[in-house]
Chain A
Amino acid sequence: MEIILSIILVFMIIGAIYALYARDLLSALISCGIVGYGLVICFLLLQAPDLAIVQIVVETITLIIMIAVILDSSREELKEKKVADPKLSHFNKWYVINAVLVIVCLLVLLYFFKEVTGTLDPLGKHLTRMSAAYVENAAEQTGSANLVTGVVFDFRGYDTLGEATILFTAVIGVLTILRVKGKK
């Protein structure tokens, strides 16, 4: 399982790196779709069918909206103006300082990543300490056969209430930003 997941993740990383360096904005958006649809395959391999259905439809709607916005505006990436192009043999001290700072930041992040995942169990040997109570009692106390729906709407109902409010507020925000001023 871990090998298949790692292969799909490598494809997603390649797609993400290309999406940030593409010249044409349309190619960049379609490469962003690679990451989204690869995530759907990962969700199906990790036995989560609810998430796969939501992710595939939401990714399609996101791509439609973003492509429609850039097709009406400019489609190409900005031209990088070469400002006073220094000769590459000119050994600028800022190059060295930049490289050292990047390496130090990466080492700090990797150290904290090792600290955090040192306490995690290896993939698949999850201890289910907190959700043993949810899995045992969800069927009798909520009466639903789908345990994820029982957790979302009964045990964690306030999260769903907050999510409905956030979606409503986002629609109000979009309609307010794009409002055309009425004629007097």
Chain B
Amino acid sequence: MTPIVKKVTQLVVGLIFLYGIYIITHGHLTPGGGFAGGAVIAGAFILLVLAYGSDVLKLRKREEDSSVVESTGILIFLALAIAALFIGTGIFFTNYLPKGIIGELISAGTIPLYNIAVGIEVAAALFTIFLALVIYKEEVLK
């Protein structure tokens, strides 16, 4: 890629990543939530790989690392849902933490934790799909 694209990417990709984290964690106060923030974070990583080539993140030959991150995300989601069986009322997948004042950052029970788990999972899933279909398909098409 041309030096202009590389320089602009270098300046902007950190801000996009931070914006994605902001959308995820403020999911219960402003529009957004887990899915939107996860997609924006995946967009930041895709921009980095497209501008600098595929050896910028020291990606190994297979897409193992982002697969592991995605599996961790959905395991955290399931662990939070099963923990509702032992705390509180004992029904699967309820909202068992105390709900604070509406409008504060720490409120709404377990909804911010679910947002973070879904955000990690969606970001890693979209990045894995991008790696498998764009970067590593030359092995298949040779």
Contacts and interface: CB of A to CB of B under 8 A. Distances in A.
A binds B: yes
Residues of B in contact with A, size category: 35 or more
A100 interface: no
A134 to B, nearest CB: 15
A150 B33 CA distance: 10
A68 B133 contact: yes
Given A61-B39, A164-B74, A178-B137, 17 more contacts: A50-B31, A54-B35, A57-B42, A61-B42, A65-B129, A69-B134, A69-B137, A73-B141, A142-B109, A143-B107, A143-B109, A144-B29, A144-B102, A149-B27, A170-B129, A178-B136, A178-B140
B94 to A, nearest CB: 9
A175 B102 contact: no
Secondary structure call for the A interface: helix
A136 interface: no
Interface in A47-77: 49-50, 53-54, 57-58, 60-61, 64-65, 68-69, 72-73
B141 A164 contact: no
Interface in B27-69: 27-33, 35-36, 39-40, 42-43, 46, 50, 63, 67
Contacts of A174: 128-129, 132-133
Contact of B32 (A53, A58, A150, A170): A53
Interface residues of A, number: 40
A181 to B, nearest CB: 11
Contact of A153 (B32, B111, B121): B111
A64 B115 contact: no
A143 B141 CA distance: 52
Contacts of B36: 50, 53-54, 57
30 contacts: A50-B33, A53-B36, A61-B43, A64-B134, A65-B133, A65-B134, A143-B109, A143-B111, A144-B102, A145-B28, A145-B102, A146-B27, A149-B27, A149-B111, A150-B28, A153-B114, A154-B109, A154-B111, A158-B93, A161-B77, A161-B93, A164-B121, A167-B121, A167-B122, A168-B71, A171-B129, A174-B128, A175-B67, A178-B136, A180-B139
